[in-house]
Structure 1
Amino acid sequence: MDAETNQSRQSALGDLALVVGTLVAVKQSVLPFTIVYAGPVSTFSAMIVATFLLYRRGLNWAALGLRKPDSWWRTLGLCVVVFLAFVGAAAGFGAIADIFFEDVGASGRFDFVKGNLPGYLLIMALVWTHGSFFEELLFRAFVITKASTVLGGGRGATLAAVLLAAVFFGYRHYYYQGMHGALVTGGIGLVFGLIYIWFGKRNIWPLVLVHGLVNSISQTQRFLGA
């Protein structure tokens, strides 16, 4: 391993540790006060740290896939692909999780949304920031890219990075969804991670849009009591 490669891996490890550490530390610090906003506060904090680290390396989010697509029509077509992949992952990993764990849903985290228009509008604002942009940029673009570099690059390292990011994504949902939800969201994260290395590095918009759409449908159902 030459000195430049070693330096690149060390830098990526430092960046990854700072962002993951921010995600964990901030959420655990806020969680005793609010189960609703602990996640969003931690991802907002981590986005600030990650953006600074990219800027310091002479990069930006466009380098990780958040750029204007060459074709919005093709992007919408890819959204269909991502949505179908989401449905398949949710159904498949949901069936596996049902065998081993009790489905506790959201443990009442979003009960306040039902029939509450101000609460619904607030949660929708979080859906299209924390629950779509922030999570895709952090858990897919940043974590996978940095972890792949740490592991040495190449196909094997990238696939290992996708798996590690998926495990972390599942862990992030354990505190209110239990092991059932952690397994399902981790499985969805795995599929989304594979999609990210397929075309998301060039265009992450389909992942962002589908993530936001799915969360919007879920919260709208809660609001309507459906």
Structure 2
Amino acid sequence: MTSANEKTSNYRYFLFDLIIYLSVMFLIREIYFEKVSFIVNGLFWSFSTLAIAIWRMRVRNISWSDIGLKKPESIQKTIFVTIGILISIVISIMVFELIKDHLPFSIEEKNYGENSASKFGNLKGNWVLFFTIIPAVLVESMLEELLDRGFLINWFERLFSKTTVTTILAVLLQALIFGFRHSYDISDRSIRVAIIGLIMGIAYVKFGRNLWPLIIAHCILNTMSMIDRVG
């Protein structure tokens, strides 16, 4: 049975880890290399954060397999969960678009079209550029699932004790962080991304805590988004 002193120690350990991790996750974005593309900068930010995650996991003797980067129980279940995630995201975003103008608070709307184009280059009709950068986009998709769902949810849970309330809080917190760090504001875009993070987090804890359905779904979403820019 865990003593009060052990619980306090665990709290301090995982709080320390989260402070370091979140500090790097946000502060590393202040470093931007103008001579390389946005996607390269994004990979630099994510791999830097991944290095911190690996460091703290080794200190706590926790492996990637422990938090979900393991062989799926079955291909059928993986496909089912992946499809369920994608359908849930589409429906949730559609509902949000229908109700956002009727919410009791205002949401900042921004036009990210030109900004996105400048980030990825002129993708309109440029399939060569698409196939050049899509591998990096897929790697980034996988990294976000490792970092936001795999690491953050588990560390938020371990911050206190693994109870139902703590798990719900962990899923909510990682979704809010995921949404906010994609635009650093409270806008329609950050809320849409947070909704995606919320659905990913729920799927993670409800369907065996395996990261592969989330990674596959995330890769599909980002691939479709990039194809939309090309078309």
Show structure 2 runs of 5+ residues with no match. Answer: none
**Whose Rg is larger?**
2
User: Counterparts in 2 of 1:31-70, with a 5 A limit?
Assistant: 36-37=38-39, 38-70=41-73
User: Counterparts in 2 of 1:1-226, with a 5 A limit?
Assistant: 2-30=4-32, 36-37=38-39, 38-97=41-100, 100-111=107-118, 112=121, 113-130=123-140, 132-175=141-184, 179-201=187-209, 203-223=210-230, 225=231
Contact 1:200–1:207 under 8 Å retained in 2: no
Residue deviations 1:73-132, cap 9 Å, x none?
A: 2211211111111112222233344553325234422351223344323431222111x2
Residue deviations 1:47-85, cap 9 Å, x none?
A: 111112212222211111110112112211211111111
Q: For residues 217 and 187 of structure 1, do their structure 2 counterparts lie closer, same or farther at Cα, with a shift above 3 Å needed?
A: same
Q: For residues 128 and 67 of structure 1, do their structure 2 counterparts lie closer, same or farther at Cα, with a shift above 3 Å needed?
A: same
Q: Aligned equivalents of 1:85 and 1:215: distance in 2?
A: 16
Aligned partner letter, 2:133:
I
**Partner-residue secondary structure (3-state), 1:173:** coil
Aligned residues: CA RMSD: 2.3
Contact 2:180–2:190 under 8 Å retained in 1: yes
Q: Aligned equivalents of 1:55 and 1:122: distance in 2?
A: 34
Show structure 1 runs of 5+ residues with no match. Answer: none
Provide the identity percentage.
Answer: 28
Q: Aligned equivalents of 2:50 and 2:74: distance in 1?
A: 27
Q: Which aligned runs of 4 or more in structure 1 are off by greater than 6 angstroms? A: 31-35
